[in-house]
Amino acid sequence: MTEETEETPRALTLGNLLLMCAFVITVESLILELKQAGGGLLRYVIGVPLGLVTGALIVPWNYQLARFLWLRSQRFSKRAQDAAGLGILALHIVWIAVGAGLGFLLARLLIKFL
């Protein structure tokens, strides 16, 4: 016999939206930089998958680090939990900037060698 369990649907949080931004901004900055430099088809064919992989690596690292910090803050006071939440928000924003920078650097690398 199997027991069916109902899972409650998870809400879309600000953290999830910022993680999506960190994923998309890597590819977007790469495409914008290639377009500005007059990139050819080969640059796009190689660059877009590289941007997707980079974004796909940023998201789990960011999620695991934020989850670790949040779970560690649960044993402290409400004020410390609020401070940890603000720190996690800042961490998400930093990862968005890192994603944009990595997309830019990947595009520059492709422009230089292709």
33 CB-contact burial (10 Å; exposed 0-12 / middle 13-18 / buried 19+) = buried
Looking at residue 5, what is its pLDDT? 62
Tokens linked to 75: 């044993």
Closest CA to 99 of 43, 33, 45, 21: 21
Query: What's the mean pLDDT when you consider all of the chain?
Result: 90
Percent of the chain with pLDDT over 70: 93
Q: Is 29 left (phi over 0), alpha (psi -120 to 50) or beta?
A: alpha
**Spatial separation of the C-alpha atoms in residues 83 and 63, rounded to whole Å:** 18
- Categorize the per-residue pLDDT at 6 as very low, low, confident or very high, splitting at 50, 70 and 90: low
Please, which pLDDT band fits residue 3 given cuts at 50, 70 and 90?
low
Nearest-5° Cα angle at 88, 86 to 90:
70
The tokens of 34 are what? 């290639």
What pLDDT does 35 receive? 93
Q: What is the pTM of this model?
A: 0.82
Evaluate if residue 1 carries a pLDDT over 70: no
Look at residue 92 and tell me whether its pLDDT is greater than 90.
Answer: yes
